Structure 1
Amino acid sequence: MDTLPESELLVAARRGDPAAFEQLVSRHRRELYAHCYRMLGSVQDAEDALQESLLGAWRGLANFEGRGSVRAWLYQITTNACLRLISRRPRRILSPDYGPPRRNTDDLGDPVTEPIWLEPWPDDEPAGAPGAVDPAARYLRRESVELAFVAALQHLPGTQRAVLILREVLEFPSADVARILDTTPPAVNSALQRARKAVRQRVPETTQQAELDAIGTRGQRELVDAFMRAWERADVAALLDLLAEDARFTMPPLPAWFRGQEDIGRFFTDQMFRAPWRLVPLGANGQPAFAGYRGEAAGDRFRLAGINVLAIRTGRIAWIASFLDPDVHRHFGLPSELPPDDSRTER
């Protein structure tokens, strides 16, 4: 059945063959998951929405008349599942949306455990996504999961959010988006204009993909390696040399965050480097990232403490987005601790 065309898989799935249905949706699963993440700003909410969507697709196969593609039909189901979830849950935010930066490093506040924080997205090409091997399409999709862009999307009403993603990220025609959202093409175009304007006000002029291209692959590697080496050495001066003057350090679910080299440096000195660290490089949201493992008092074990995503501006680090929630960490497939013989990870 692996080589059956979509039309034959659809017929078999309609007859009640779950294996055929699984193959029918498997080629779209990853991109649908990414769509849910863009809509919801949370990998955990995205999992819930995707599960609800695929269950709805299985139950609704008899109602699919085949007038459009299976992909568009799945996006219709998935988008509407996300819109229902948006109506029931608070929008996801960044630390600056929650409160002003702090200067006192002794009080980081109690963790805010309600589901309000934007979450990082583990880098992975959407398997089966149309154009996934096309460099231009890959570039666009990486831009579309950048932290700043996904955060800006969360400020839009649900329908505007859906329109912007479906039209500009997934490049569905207006007529298809109108069918997905049960509206009209003029309404889609009007919502798109409003969404574009609102997002433009909240994202940097230059995307992370453009910033990374500007310093090149070698420059990226040198910057990230220097940052990670300084962090592992607890060399605060070297770290600050790599930061933009107005850099931010955020760390949900703790409400505290710091802005500027001076305050970030004081936080590093007073709090961060009370224990040793080992770092493991990874990718998240199309941006450089690393997992931070914090040493225990005994000094022979390092436990996963945070996923850290870096935003670059003109060759310097402008934002360290540290995510401390263990429920977020599990999506990255990382070990919970580094054993003694692997405490210093090769890079």
Structure 2
Amino acid sequence: MRDDHTEALARRAAAGDAMALNDLLTAIRPAVLRRCARLLPCFQDAEEACQDALLQVARAIGRFEGRSRFTTWLYVVVANSARQTYRSLKRRAAEQHDLPPLDRPDPRTTSVIAGSRLDFLDALERLETRRPDLVAPLVLRDVCQLDYAEIAGHLGIPAGTVKSRIHQARADLREYLSPAL
């Protein structure tokens, strides 16, 4: 995904150009799918989150104001979509009596990487209930790999606050992810 081309398409799409929106969605789909797959261990789940993220982009592109880079805005949408897909999958599994809930991955059927992603998503949910202000900076930095200045610009807070929140979020996640002794 070429950044300058994507940014131009996003500006045109935000201004109401339907052809630019179509081209934008086509251009960003591979990167969106890769980002969803970083969080969701099952490819079908990542595809579902990708489709949801692309739909969100299509619906909300008119609200993209260009204050930050489009890719920064996009990564927020993608991370939220992947987390929402995970919550939905967890809820669906809990509603089915014949299937175990997705509280803990089954070590016999889940790879170490996939299990750690599920643990990470569970830890993010716990963090969000306790300190929702810490989740966005952490996800933007550690999942979306944005730099501190981009995160600060997107969230409208000073870079020092971003760093502090990320530090606190990582400390809290370590506590959630540590096995009980």
TM-score normalised by the shorter chain: which range applies? Answer: 0.5 to 0.7
Hey, what does 1:41 align to over in structure 2? 41
How many Å apart are 1:13 and its aligned residue?
A: 1.8
| 1:150 equivalent in alignment to 2:141 | no
TM-superposed deviation, 1:10: 2.7
1:94 Cα deviation after fit: 3.0
**1:80, 1:181 within 8 Å by CA — same for their partners in 2?**
no
SS at 2:123 equivalent: coil
* Contact 1:39–1:162 (8 Å) recurs in 2: no
C-alpha displacement at 1:56, in angstroms? 1.5
In the TM superposition, 1:1-347 aligns within 5 A as 5-90=5-90, 91=102, 93-96=104-107, 146-147=113-114, 149-158=116-125, 159=128, 166-174=140-148, 176-177=150-151, 185=162, 186-196=164-174, 198-199=176-177, 201=178
Q: Which residue of 1 aligns with 2:99?
A: none
Amino acid at match of 2:88: R
TM-superposed deviation, 1:17: 3.4
Aligned residues: 155
2: CA distance, partners of 1:28 / 1:58: 12
Write the distance in 2 (CA, Å) between the matches of 1:192 and 1:28.
29
Q: Which structure has the highest strand share of the two?
A: 1
- Structure 1 residues 180, 30: closer, same or farther in 2, change over 3 A? farther
Q: Aligned partners of 1:147 and 1:7: how far apart in 2?
A: 33
Q: Encode CA deviations 1:291-319: one digit per residue, 9 max, x unaligned.
A: xxxxxxxxxxxxxxxxxxxxxxxxxxxxx
Residue 197 of structure 1 and its aligned partner are, at CA, apart by 5.5
Structure 2 residue runs of 5 or longer lacking an equivalent are: 91-101, 129-133
How far did residue 75 of structure 1 move?
1.0
Partners in 2 of 1:47 and 1:161 — Cα distance?
23
Once the 2 structures are TM-superposed, how far is the Cα of residue 60 of structure 1 from its aligned partner? 1.4
Question: What percentage of residue pairs aligned between the two structures are identical?
Answer: 26
Q: Is contact 1:53–1:81 with CA below 8 Å preserved after alignment?
A: yes
Aligned-residue offset at 1:7: 4.3
Question: How high is the TM-score relative to the length of structure 2?
Answer: 0.62
Worse-matched range after superposition: 164-173 or 181-190: 181-190
Q: Please tell me the residue identity of whatever aligns with 2:75.
A: Y
Q: Name the structure, 1 or 2, with higher relative contact order (CA <8 Å, separation 6+).
A: 2
Using the alignment, how far apart are the partners of 1:42 and 1:163 within structure 2? Answer: 25
Q: Is the CA contact 1:56–1:77 (under 8 Å) kept in the aligned structure 2?
A: yes
- Structure 1 unaligned blocks of 5 or more: 102-116, 121-144, 203-347
- Match of 2:45, as an amino acid? D
CA distance in structure 1 between the aligned counterparts of 2:50 and 2:31, rounded to whole angstroms: 10
For normalisation by structure 1, the TM-score amounts to: 0.36
Per-residue CA deviation, residues 105-139 of structure 1 (Å, 9 max, x unaligned), is xxxxxxxxxxxx75x8xxxxxxxxxxxxxxxxxxx
Query: Could you say what secondary structure the match of 1:45 adopts?
Result: helix
**Structure 2 contact 36–50 (Cα < 8 Å) conserved:** yes
Which residue identity lines up with residue 188 of structure 1 in the other structure?
Answer: I
CA–CA distance in 1 between the matches of 2:15 and 2:26?
18
Give the distance between the partners of 1:46 and 1:163, measured in 2 at CA. 22
- Conserved 8 A contact 2:14-2:63: no
Distance 1:63 1:83 in 2: 22
Distance 1:55 1:82 in 2: 13
Tell me, in whole angstroms, the C-alpha distance in 2 between the residues paired with 1:148 and 1:89: 15
